[in-house]
Amino acid sequence: VAKQLKNSRQKSTNGWRTVGLPFEKEVFTVGEETLAMRKCFEGIHRDRDVIRVRDTVLLKSGPRKKTLPYVAKVSALWEEPESGELMMSLFWYYRPEHTQGGRNPTVHCENEIFASRHQDVNSVACIEDKCYVLTLAQYCRFCALVKRHKEGVQDTAASLVVPPVVANAMPTHHCVPDDVDPELVFFCRHVYDFRYGRLLKNLQ
């Protein structure tokens, strides 16, 4: 019986396993008017990939490979009491394509997404990959470094043009690995009001 339970958990989480000791915490759940107490975890891992609360992830949006994955910020990682399935509470980011007005090439930049207060719950099995959401200034610096690396400019020369990141000055969920795929890096400068279908200029 224990072996079957283990296989069931592994299938339902798509290989993701918990990190750290469980702890009780109130989290957002769909269908509940108030926060619900759940057994939570500080993170999950699969192979070398580790995802923690406040990280951003790409989620499967459909069976077609060309369909753009959804982007979300993890607010909690917890276990469903009845099924034992690993779930996550999240805040959705919106791509311009997913907004009421759609993408406007003259207004929206490539890899630009919008923050939202749209909360939801999803299975961790839907996670495709970890991604990174930066401010516009951070994203410009990232693109400059990517360009210099492609041109073969050494980091010492690049550091004269682009100020180096001071240790511990940036939250860990904003720290982008040197070898990350640029397609996994986004920037956000606006909030999307999903209820009224409009953009808010202030991120606060």
Query: What pLDDT does 151 receive?
Result: 86
Query: What pLDDT does 67 receive?
Result: 84
What does the angle CA 43 – CA 49 – CA 55 come to, to the nearest 5 degrees?
Answer: 50
Query: What pLDDT does 6 receive?
Result: 44
Tens of pLDDT, residue by residue, the chain (204 residues): 333 334 444 447 899 999 999 999 999 999 888 999 999 999 999 999 999 999 999 999 877 777 899 999 999 999 999 999 999 999 999 999 989 888 887 778 889 999 999 999 999 999 999 999 999 999 999 999 999 988 888 765 445 444 455 545 556 666 899 889 999 999 999 999 999 989 887 665
| Three-state DSSP class for residue 146 | helix
Query: What pLDDT does 173 receive?
Result: 61
Query: What pLDDT does 30 receive?
Result: 94
Query: What pLDDT does 201 receive?
Result: 77
How buried is 46 (Cβ within 10 angstroms: 0-12 exposed, 13-18 middle, 19+ buried)? middle
Q: Provide the whole-model pTM.
A: 0.83
End-to-end CA distance of the chain: 50
Extended beta strands in 47-172, E state: 49-52, 56-59, 70-79, 86-93, 112-115, 119-123, 127-134
Q: Which of 93, 180, 91, 187 is nearest to 135 (CA)?
A: 187
For the record, the structure tokens of 43 come out as 């993170």
Domains, the chain, ordered by start: 2-132+188-200 (2.30.30.490)
